[in-house]
Structure formats: C-alpha cells, structure tokens
Amino acid sequence: MSMINSLRAAVRTNRRRGAAGAYDAVPEGSGSAVVDCAVYQHGRRNGETCSPREAARRVKAAHQLPDSSGSFSWIGLHEPTGAEFEGIAQRFGLHPLAVEDAVHAHQRPKVERYDDVLFAVFKTIRYVEHDQLTPTSEVVETGELMVFAGRDFVITVRHGGHGSLQELRHRLEADADEAGLLAKGPAAVLHAIADHVVDNYLLVAERLQNDVDEIEYGVFSAKGARSADVGRVYQLKREVLEFKRAVAPLLRPMQQLSEPLQRLVDPDMQKYFRDVADHLARVTEQVHGFDELLNSLLQANLAQVSVAQNEDMRKITAWAAIFAVPTMITGVYGMNFDYMPELHHAYGYPMVLGAITLICIGMYRGFRRNGWL
C-alpha cells in the first residue's frame, strides 16, 4: 500500500504543477522490465528504441509543433516490479488502482476508464501441445496483458511466458495499411492488441475442438464406457472453464468500446472494435458450446458406466442362480438321510447328475433369451 499511496501523492502533485512541468519533475524507476519503447508520429515509428523519459520528452516536443496530431509513445513492459513501474506510472499520471492491478496481475478481463485513460485487461491463451489427453493434461495456459491507453501514450504490461507483442508491433510498423490505422493514435494500438488477442482465441478454440471430438468419440465408441475415462472428460472441462473465464467477461467491454458514447475512442476506430466484439462473441459461443457438450459427455459417460455395472450385476446374478441349483441339490444329498429319492437305486447317481445338468442348461438358455447372459 505504500507504493499506492506514493503514487496517489505523485499524481496529485503532477496535476497541481500542470502538464508543462510534470514530466521533468517525476523520478523514473528502473527500466529493466521495459521490452520496447518508441515514439510514433503520423502512424510511423520516429527513431529507435528509447527510454520512457526520452519518449515522454519527444511527445511533449511534438505537441509544440503546429501539426502534432497522431504523436504518441508506446512503452512495453514484461512483469515489472512495483519499483520498476512506479516511475513510469508517476510520469504518465496513471491511476494508483490501475497500477496496482497491472503490477500484481491475476485480474478479471475488463476495460475501465480513469479520467482520460482507458485501462484494459486481457487474458492471453496458449494451447499446450500434447500427444494424448490424460486426466492430468494441461490443455490451455493463460497469461495476462494490461493496456493503458491515454491521449498520447500506450503502456502495455505483460505477465506470463507467452503473448509477446513484438511481432504485432513490427507488423503495425511495417504494414502500410496498418500504419494508416496507427496514425489514429493509442486507440488504434488498443484495437490492434484486442484484435490480436481475440484472433488467438479463435485459433485455440479450433485446437480445443479436436480434443472435444476425441473425447466424444471415446465416449460413444463401440467400447463405450470401457475405454472412456471420466478423468479425461473432467480435466478437459476444467481447461475449457479456464478458457471461458478468459473470454466471457471481455465481451461487454469490447461492445462498449464500439458504442458512440465512448469519447476516448476515435469514431473511425469504433467500427473496428465492433468487428473485434463480433469475433469475440463467436469465440464465446464456441466455448459455451464446448462446456455444455462436455457436461453432456460427462453425464453420458457416467450413465454408460452405470449401465455397464448393471449388466455385470445381471451376469453375476444369473451365474449365481445357475450354480445355486447343483449347490442346493448336493447339499440336500449331503445330509446323509436314510430315506432319500433314488438313494439305493443303481442309476440314482447318474440320474441326479443328469437332472442337475438339464436344470442348469434350461436356466442358462432362459437367461440368454432374456439378455442376462
């Protein structure tokens, strides 16, 4: 909480001093967590990688020019500590609550507004390759990506070993069409990141479809419950649920960014956010479908196990009834009474054995006809 309190004090100081002296008055923390930092003007990268302090100075200088539209800085960080992020947060006047979320991670996907800054939290998803699905298989791995989008800056904070934005940044810088969008400022970067994350959701959903199909085939194959493992179904359901928690909460915020009432997003960019929201809605429907299908498969598998157990019990009962006949008859003759049927007859022993055999065969045929054996 000490870091949060110091950030609150710094933000209040910056606002009192005004924009002219704020950048130079705020100390800057360690830059070891900075992956890339650059200034963009009119959709093009201006110069090489620089420090956040230098990026702020360049943007401030560009704003002194007559045509300063489209000038902003983009700072990318990977798992910064509180000390590493504190200087940057103070320099750009980030809200302490958003800073706390960005440093500690483990946040729910969301888009929030703090004055003139949009703070977005995305869950990044990576499909984990596996030869065969087991009850302990990890199918999806999640990370987090936070984006601060102000009027003249974008700050991205990434947590986890995947979800790097380096390729996306290079594509935005190299593609002429993308540069046209990039000229619209931080909102264009926020859109590009959201589109990148959601497109990756679509790819993961396609790979998950194969795992769901494999489980479905195992449940309803000829071997049925004998081959399907309830643990595999349950494990895949847990992984799908993790995917669902990353996708579902993001749908409404993406829709809000495409609404005309959103003043921090350029009206020309809102239709692009609407396209992202449409793709996200499709992924959400797929994930909900996976979840419902796995629920049905889990119930079907448990029902098959119950049916198989009932069949086993019927077979055991039928064989027990058949073997009860010779047990009962031999038990009666084993009591050594003097007056028993055919006890002193020459063919008494074979006749009793024959009667036992005929009764057992009759019972066996009866059970087979009724489907018990």
Single-letter residue type at 128: V
Tell which of 304, 319, 348 closes a domain.
304
Contact 204, 243 (CB under 8 A): yes
On whether both 297 and 330 belong to a single domain, the answer is: no
303 - beta bridge partners?
Answer: none
Number of domains in the chain: 2
On whether both 279 and 324 belong to a single domain, the answer is: no
On whether both 350 and 231 belong to a single domain, the answer is: no
On whether both 85 and 54 belong to a single domain, the answer is: yes
Domain with 313 in it: 308-369
Give the separation between CA 215 and CA 336, rounded to whole angstroms.
61
On whether both 61 and 124 belong to a single domain, the answer is: yes
On whether both 280 and 343 belong to a single domain, the answer is: no
Q: Residue 329's pLDDT is what?
A: 80
Each residue's pLDDT tens digit in the chain (373 positions)?
A: 444 455 444 444 443 333 333 333 334 444 478 899 999 888 888 888 888 898 888 888 887 766 656 789 999 999 998 888 988 999 899 999 999 999 988 889 999 989 889 999 999 999 999 888 888 888 999 999 999 999 889 999 999 888 889 899 888 888 755 557 788 888 889 999 999 999 999 999 999 999 999 888 888 775 545 555 788 888 899 999 999 999 999 999 888 888 765 667 777 788 888 899 999 999 999 999 999 999 988 888 788 778 777 888 888 888 888 888 888 888 877 777 666 666 677 777 788 788 888 888 888 888 888 888 7
DSSP conformational letter for 46? E
- From residue 9, alpha-carbon distances to 13, 98, 117 in Å are 6, 15, 18
On whether both 233 and 312 belong to a single domain, the answer is: no
On whether both 38 and 71 belong to a single domain, the answer is: yes
Sequence-separated (6 or more) residues with CB below 8 Å from residue 122? 109, 144, 145, 146, 147, 193, 194, 197, 250
Q: Residue 30's pLDDT is what?
A: 43
Q: Residue 339's pLDDT is what?
A: 66
Single-letter residue type at 310: N
CATH number of the domain at 30, please.
3.30.460.20
Phi (first) and psi of residue 370, to 5 degrees: -90, 0
On whether both 349 and 217 belong to a single domain, the answer is: no
On whether both 288 and 363 belong to a single domain, the answer is: no
148 - beta bridge partners?
Answer: 119, 155
On whether both 319 and 299 belong to a single domain, the answer is: no
On whether both 78 and 112 belong to a single domain, the answer is: yes
Q: Residue 192's pLDDT is what?
A: 92
Q: Residue 69's pLDDT is what?
A: 63
